Amino acid sequence: MNYEEIDKKLKQLKIEDFIWVIYIGIIILSFYSNYLEKNYFLYNDEQSKQDYRKTLIIIFSILVIVYLYFLYSAYNDIKNIKSFDTTKKKNLIYLAFIGSLLITISGFIFLYIAFQDENIDVEIAFN
């Protein structure tokens, strides 16, 4: 690796460190949304129901943005494939892109469900 590639990788790792902090926030918001959902089901609290839905929308909106970042990063990896890269490396880069694409699609689907499910009939979660 030359200096330019190392610098690029370090910048990417710095962004990924920030994403881990975002995931910690998502976990905290998820605990809070579970608390709100429990309040709604136990006490039929309509305000908790609305706050739960809003929290889910916030969670999945943030996740979609994160997923889009990883999709973009995977796309850039495809663009940067070199002719002398091994077949195995090329295949893994393509598979990583496909995985990122599928996760991004699932994020949009879960976000759509969070917007549409006014009665909290569908349990949605992220992995």
Distance CA 31, CA 55 (A): 10
Instruction: Say what the pLDDT of residue 125 is.
Output: 67
Is 125 part of any domain?
no
CA distance 60 to 67: 10
Residue 1: pLDDT above 80? no
d(CA 77, CA 89): 11
11 domain-assigned: no
Judged by phi (left if over 0) then psi (alpha if -120 to 50, else beta), residue 120 lies in left
Contacts of 72 (CB under 8 A, 6+ apart): none
Domain count, the chain: 1
The model's pLDDT over 36-78, given as tens digits with 9 standing for 90+, comes to: 999 999 999 999 999 999 999 999 999 999 999 999 999 999 9
Domain interval for residue 100:
17-116
Asked whether residue 96 is domain-assigned, the answer is: yes
C-alpha 97/C-alpha 26 separation (Å) is: 24
pLDDT score, position 126: 58
